[in-house]
């Protein structure tokens, strides 16, 4: 096929513009743990029973945020908010939407992958997607040899290697870009704990070469390969790597080197493996010489799962530290998450920020870093507010607009307003139904101050009412 000179000139010009955009920008590596509680990390919980030396080191090398929040208390809406800059409460995104067998992020909702790719970045995702695909003529989560549209490579990422959901979710096989690699044909068993904390054995089938125990190390190996590959290329184009770890979510199947090492059961062992993952990626950046110009961020998609929370509490370990609740809760333990950012050439090492930030804020923060006006170029990220200043000046506490936590819960400054009913529709509530907590004095949300602060509680109700009127459910 002959390429027309005019088209070729435009292609060269476009490539040159991207090169200029990207040349002096940092690499970005974003690591997301799965169901890791705020208190599961030593650096956020001085009474932790589990050793996390690599996270301790990362915190000593960067900025630790003590008031960071996932976009929701469960996997799917949290990841949706992280990638799009849209509060999942605004569009009604919940894990249950996956049952439709459709991609949850639409083409109109731009992602961090789109943002970075627009500036000439190589964009990669490794790990757990959990945001659905447009499954061809069938229900979701069935193996198919056909393409899976609507996934990472259709939503801003150049490459994807990973799994559709947790490592124990059928079909148990790898996805490379937009296709399952091999059919699940081999019988396997793996351990799991039910909601009561009782041990059970799951029998299913997996693809050859796929196992629950090897899921995490295989994914880490791929992430490190991407980092090394970019270093060997010596390209002037930076890269964005989104590494969505499948651990410490169930099933808890630690590698042999970690089995029994924590002394606190399989979840404790898995926490130590998660810590090792951080060390592997951090070390890869150091060894390749990419560390100095790489912004490395570590956080978790939500609080610790209920089974882990209960089992660890019985052993004297507080997965939510001092905070109330756990995964799926709108109390702090459900969405306040560990958060560390490291960028040796730009961020002050060993510092702490008390600024309130949310996953939805990644979009505006990275946009500001890249010199982009997101309201003009990426208007879909409407719930994103940049915290770049908090990264660069952690000693200054950044003010943030009202932050909605799922349904019927909101944060303004240090005040938390919440309805105790987890699934009560807003239309069925009254101002007197809500609780009000001063998180500065009462981070554990134990003393309801709504009666003493009726005027403030009413203001919260009115502010949330305006947000509720803007909700457009998917």
One domain, residues 323 and 430: no
End residue of a domain, out of 398, 417, 443: 398
Q: For 292-305, how does the pLDDT look when each residue is reduced to its tens digit (9 = 90+)?
A: 999 999 999 999 99
> Is 33 in contact with 327 (CB distance < 8 Å)?
no
- Domain CATH number, residue 427: 3.30.1120.10
One domain, residues 346 and 423: no
**If DSSP states are collapsed to H, E and C, what string results for the chain?**
CCCCHHHHHHHHHHHHHHHHHHCCCCEEEEEEECCCCHHHCHHHCCCCCCCCHHHHHHHHHCEEEEEEECCCCCHHHHHHHHHHCCCHHHHCCCHHHHHHCCCCCCCCCCCHHHHHHCCCCEEEEEEECCCCCCCCCCCCCCCCCCCCCCCHHHCCCCEEEEECCCCCCCCECCEECCEECCCCCEEEEEEEECCCCCEEEEEEEECCCCCHHHHHHHHHHHHHHHHHHHHHHCCCCCEEEEEECCCCCCCCCCCCCCCCCCCCHHHHHHHHHHHHHHHHHHHHHHHHCCHHHEEEEEEECCCCCHHHHHHHHHCCCCCCCCCCCCCCCCCHHHHEEEEEEECCCCCCCCEEECCCEEHHHHHHHHHHHHCCCHHHHCCCCCCCCCCHHHHHCCCCCCCCCCEECCCCEEEECCEEEECCCCCCCHHHCCHHHCEEEECCCCCCCCCCCCCCCHHHHHHHHHHHHHHHHHCCCC
Task: Please give the model's pTM, rounded to 2 decimal places.
Answer: 0.95
Is residue 404 in some structural domain?
A: no
Report the domain count for the chain: 2
One domain, residues 55 and 195: yes
Is residue 199 in some structural domain?
A: yes
One domain, residues 420 and 323: no
Answer whether residue 51 shows pLDDT above 70: yes
One domain, residues 31 and 167: yes
Residues linked to residue 33 through DSSP beta bridges, in sequence order: 300
Is residue 272 in some structural domain?
A: yes
Q: For 303-333, how does the pLDDT look when each residue is reduced to its tens digit (9 = 90+)?
A: 999 999 999 999 999 999 999 999 999 999 9
Q: What is the rounded CA–CA span in Å between residue 426 and residue 410?
A: 13
| pLDDT for res 6 | 52
* Domain with 263 in it: 21-398
One domain, residues 338 and 428: no
Is residue 118 in some structural domain?
A: yes
Is residue 16 in some structural domain?
A: no
Is residue 2 in some structural domain?
A: no
- Three-state secondary structure call for residue 115: helix
Q: For 169-219, how does the pLDDT look when each residue is reduced to its tens digit (9 = 90+)?
A: 999 999 999 999 999 999 999 999 998 889 999 999 999 999 999 999 999
End residue of a domain, out of 370, 398, 426: 398
Is residue 124 in some structural domain?
A: yes
Answer whether residue 1 shows pLDDT above 50: no
| pLDDT for res 140 | 74
Is residue 210 in some structural domain?
A: yes
One domain, residues 414 and 317: no
One domain, residues 420 and 364: no
Q: For 56-107, how does the pLDDT look when each residue is reduced to its tens digit (9 = 90+)?
A: 999 999 999 999 999 999 999 999 999 999 999 999 999 999 999 999 999 9
One domain, residues 355 and 374: yes
One domain, residues 311 and 413: no
One domain, residues 457 and 352: no
- Domain CATH number, residue 372: 3.40.720.10
End residue of a domain, out of 375, 398, 421: 398
Query: Among candidates 249, 346, 221, which has minimal Cα distance to 293?
Result: 346
| pLDDT for res 422 | 86
One domain, residues 317 and 417: no
């Amino acid at each position: 096929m002959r390429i027309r000179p005019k088209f070729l000139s435009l292609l060269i010009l476009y490539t040159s513009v991207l090169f200029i955009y990207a040349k002096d920008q940092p690499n970005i590596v974003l690591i997301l743990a799965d169901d890791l509680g705020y208190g599961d990390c030593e650096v956020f919980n001085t009474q932790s029973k589990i050793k996390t030396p690599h996270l301790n080191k990362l915190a000593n090398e960067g900025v630790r945020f003590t008031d960071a929040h996932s976009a929701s208390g469960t996997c799917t809406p949290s990841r949706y908010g992280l990638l799009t800059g849209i509060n999942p409460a605004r569009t009604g995104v919940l894990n249950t939407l996956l049952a439709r067998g459709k991609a949850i992020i639409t083409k109109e909702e731009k992602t961090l992958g789109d943002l970075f790719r627009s500036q000439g970045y190589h964009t990669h995702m490794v790990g757990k997607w959990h945001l659905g695909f447009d499954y061809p003529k069938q229900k979701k989560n069935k193996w198919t040899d056909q393409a899976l549209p609507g996934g990472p490579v259709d939503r801003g990422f150049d490459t994807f290697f990973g799994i559709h959901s947790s490592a124990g979710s059928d079909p148990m096989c790898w996805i490379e870009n937009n296709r399952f690699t091999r059919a699940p044909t081999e019988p396997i068993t793996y351990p799991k704990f039910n909601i009561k904390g009782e041990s059970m054995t799951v029998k299913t089938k997996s693809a050859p070469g796929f196992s629950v125990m090897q899921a995490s190390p295989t994914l880490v190996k791929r992430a490190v390969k991407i980092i090394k590959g970019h270093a060997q290329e010596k390209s002037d184009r930076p890269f964005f790597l989104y590494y969505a770890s499948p651990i410490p979510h169930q099933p808890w199947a630690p590698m042999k080197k970690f089995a029994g090492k924590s002394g606190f059961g399989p979840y404790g062992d898995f926490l130590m493996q998660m810590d090792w993952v951080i060390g592997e990626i951090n070390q890869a950046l150091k060894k390749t010489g990419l560390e100095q110009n790489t912004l490395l961020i570590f956080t978790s998609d939500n609080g610790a799962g209920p089974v882990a929370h209960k089992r660890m509490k019985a052993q004297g370990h507080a997965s939510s530290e001092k905070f109330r609740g756990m995964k799926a809760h709108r109390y702090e333990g459900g969405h306040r998450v560990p958060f560390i950012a490291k960028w040796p050439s730009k961020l002050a090492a060993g510092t702490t920020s008390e600024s309130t930030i949310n996953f939805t804020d990644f979009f505006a923060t990275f946009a500001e870093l890249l010199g982009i006006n997101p309201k003009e170029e990426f208007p879909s990220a409407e719930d994103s507010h940049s915290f770049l200043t908090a990264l660069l000046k952690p000693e200054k506490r950044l003010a943030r607009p009202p932050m909605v936590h799922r349904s019927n819960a909101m944060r303004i400054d240090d005040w938390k307003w919440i309805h105790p009913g987890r699934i009560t529709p807003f239309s069925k509530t009254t101002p007197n139904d809500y609780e009000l907590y001063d998180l500065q004095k009462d981070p554990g949300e134990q003393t309801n101050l709504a009666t003493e602060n009726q005027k403030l509680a009413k203001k919260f109700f009115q502010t949330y009412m305006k947000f509720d009127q803007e909700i457009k459910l998917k």
